[in-house]
Amino acid sequence: MKDFPPAPTITRLRHELRRRNLTVKTVEALTPAMIRITLTGEDLAGFLSAAPDDHIKIFVPGPGDTPEMRDYTPRRFDAERQELVVDFAVHDAGPATLWALQAKPGDALAIGGPRGSQVIEGQIDRWLLIGDETALPAIGRRIEEAAPGTVIAALVAIPDSADRQVFDTAADLTLCWVLRPAAAATDPAPLLDRLAETDIPPGTFVWIAAEARVARALRNHLLADRGHPPGWLKASGYWVAGEADQVVHFD
């Protein structure tokens, strides 16, 4: 095992949990695999999201009178303009995806949360961010919110070259897009192969989010094969193939 310094701490913050009734302001086809929706409304007063991988609940129509709830990342928030940006990965035909595909300005959407934030604090020399298209909102937010000179490397699996995104950042960013078809989103091999070629020096915090089996395989490779310290890694399964509204945390 490489000589890593003491691990960073993860501070858990709790936020007021309330339902907010918002309105769609704009809808943008960001890439073929991502829809960006800007929400607005006075209910955004007091909204707080302290970490790039926070999650809100969105409430979309379901069968009968029961709404469906899904987790999404607050991609960007502007308190002064009362605007909240949410990116929707078009990777399935679930109720949230269907709502996003049909959304138009003036539509209503209720959200809840974030319930809390996990803020990673400490001396981190370098970030390694690994994920698929569902993790891109959190990855993009961390990249764009990074302090000037922050060293970040990112490995992101996407279905097509047209799904690449451009980030406005002051970070020292190395970005690697890993192309693989959407049908192979549960196969860890494309990201594992690229990760095996990636140097991870001491002081590197690794953040992982993808389909649960992919995230688990990446985490196991780092811990078992590379000797990466557990305290320098955070991994989550943002979705589980074949199961609705499932998130798996490995830490």
What CATH number does residue 21 fall under? 2.40.30.10
Per residue in 174-201, pLDDT (tens digit) is 999 999 999 999 999 999 999 999 999 9
The answer to whether residue 2 sits within a structural domain is no
Sorting pLDDT into bands at 50, 70 and 90, what band is 243? confident
Same domain (yes/no): 45, 110: yes
Same domain (yes/no): 23, 111: yes
CATH of the domain at 158: 3.40.50.80
For the residues 240-249, what does the mean pLDDT come to? 82
Same domain (yes/no): 110, 24: yes
The answer to whether residue 34 sits within a structural domain is yes
- Kindly report the three-state secondary structure assignment for every residue of the chain: CCCCCCCCEEEEEECCCCEEEEEEEEEEEEECCEEEEEEECHHHCCCCCCCCCCCEEEEECCCCCCCEEEEECEEEEECCCCEEEEEEECCCCCHHHHHHHHCCCCCEEEEECCCEEEEEECCCCEEEEEECHHHHHHHHHHHHHCCCCCEEEEEEEECCHHHCCCCCCCCEEEEEEEECCHHHCCCCHHHHHHHHCCCCCCCEEEEEEEEHHHHHHHHHHHHHHCCCCHHHEEEEEEEECCECCCCEECC
Q: Which of 66, 85, 116 is the last residue of a domain?
A: 116
Same domain (yes/no): 40, 104: yes
The answer to whether residue 7 sits within a structural domain is no
Same domain (yes/no): 189, 239: yes
pLDDT of residue 251: 67
Same domain (yes/no): 149, 239: yes
Sheet holding 83-89, edge to edge: 68-72, 56-60, 108-112, 19-31, 34-40, 83-89, 74-78
Q: Which of 61, 85, 116 is the last residue of a domain?
A: 116
Same domain (yes/no): 161, 238: yes
The answer to whether residue 209 sits within a structural domain is yes
Domain extent, residue 34, equals 13-116
The chain-wide mean pLDDT, for the chain, equals 94
Per residue in 80-94, pLDDT (tens digit) is 999 999 999 987 768
Same domain (yes/no): 127, 112: no
Same domain (yes/no): 78, 189: no
Q: In this model, does residue 8 exceed pLDDT 80?
A: yes
Q: Which of 116, 135, 166 is the last residue of a domain?
A: 116
pLDDT of residue 246: 78
Same domain (yes/no): 233, 133: yes
Per residue in 103-152, pLDDT (tens digit) is 999 999 999 999 999 999 999 999 999 999 999 999 999 999 999 999 99
Domain count for the chain: 2
Same domain (yes/no): 228, 143: yes
pLDDT of residue 21: 98
The answer to whether residue 3 sits within a structural domain is no
The answer to whether residue 199 sits within a structural domain is yes
The answer to whether residue 6 sits within a structural domain is no
